[in-house]
Structures are given as structure tokens and as C-alpha cells.
Amino acid sequence: MIEHYKDDKSTVFSIVPFEVFEFKPGLYPGSFRVPACKDDSKPSRFVVGASEHLMTIGGKKEPIRIITPSYQIANSIVKDFLDGQLWTVPGEAQPGIAWVQGEVEVKKFLDMDLYETIRSMQRSWFVSLCKHTDDEWVKKKHHRVVSDQARFAAKYLGLEPEWMRAEEIGFTYNKCPACSTMNDPNNIICSGCRYILIKERFKKEDFAA
């Protein structure tokens, strides 16, 4: 905290189920960690103060201190984090994180319209994450298409899609030699490219002709 600006504070609230970490090079303080929120009825709270950086102006040998107020820091934490997330629609479907000016308690934030807004937007984002992961899973059947965010989303929505068992499937499913799609061991034909996986059984089936 910068001594002469200790009363300059803003508050970041998050219902995102994983930690939000933002680093701003050149600023002091410049590292910001917003704790993960496991229950969206109890948002995580992170109070931000002013930061400073040094700048040389007009050829002077001694740099001067430039103060960045807390509201700019808080806005930057939220905006930069949101910009780095997949499958968001700004203002509609995005992680539940926001900031307010001043040092605000959780109880007061829960009474704000902003709280309900970020809950709604995060739910929409979770739905989007699951839909896009469904699409990628159908194409590739590979654990790499399943993000931690998608797992959080599925659990929150009470869904149990096949890709939630990605690691298990990775050990038990067979990779198609033609397109690398992961297939159920009982598949006769690849679900991705129609390559014949079990030729003996294929010949015995009616569609062999």
C-alpha cells in the first residue's frame, strides 16, 4: 500500500471457481490474486489500493513516481482476466467477476444488482463452455479438449457429459489409425472418419456388402 494514497481503495468481487491471478509489469504493487470461489453465494473479495511506477520525463536523471489509482487497477484486473478466457460473449456470457469503487463488504455487494448480473453471465458462460467442449469432444474424443473450466461448468450445471470421464476414456478407448479419433472398443467403424476398425466383425455385419 502506498502511504500517501492509503485511502484510495476499490474492491474486486469474484464468483469464479478458480483463482484469478494478474501480474502488471512495472507497477508496484503489481501482483494481484483473487481467491477461488467455491460457493457463488459467498463471493471472494479482494481490496485493491493504488499502485505506482517510475518514469523518466524530459531528460531528467531522476525518474518521477506516477500513481495509478485503485479504480484503474481494479478495472485492469477484471478486464485483462476476462480478455484471456475462451468462449465468452462480453456482457452476456463471461466469468463472474466485477469491481466497485471503494472498500465494499461482501454483504453490501450481495444486495447490488451487479451481483445478480455476474451470476447470470457466469451461468451463460458455463453453458457456452459445455456446448463448445461437446463439439470438440465429438470431433476428437481426446482429453486435451477438456479444460478445467469446462469441468467446473459441468459440475455447476449438474451435467455428466461423456468428456467428464476423459482420462478414463483415454485408457480404455482405441485411437483410430487414420484420423486419431478415440473410439469405444466396441466400435466397428470410426465415429470420426468411417475407417474400418474391426475388419472381421465388419465383414460379418449386414452392411458389409
Distance (Å, whole) CA 54 – CA 30: 13
pLDDT of residue 182: 75
pLDDT of residue 209: 47
Q: Which amino acid is at 141?
A: K
Domains of the chain, residue spans: 3-116, 129-208
Tens digits of per-residue pLDDT, 113-130?
999 999 999 999 999 999
Tens digits of per-residue pLDDT, 25-60?
999 999 999 999 999 999 999 999 999 998 888 777
Tens digits of per-residue pLDDT, 159-192?
999 998 876 665 567 788 888 777 778 888 988 8
Q: Strand order in 44-49's β-sheet? A: 44-49, 9-14, 97-101
Grid cell for residue 131: 456446448
pLDDT of residue 199: 87
Tens digits of per-residue pLDDT, 59-73?
777 888 899 999 999
Within 10 Å of residue 73's Cβ, how many Cβ atoms?
24
pLDDT of residue 172: 66
pLDDT of residue 129: 97
pLDDT of residue 1: 55
Share the mean pLDDT of the chain: 90
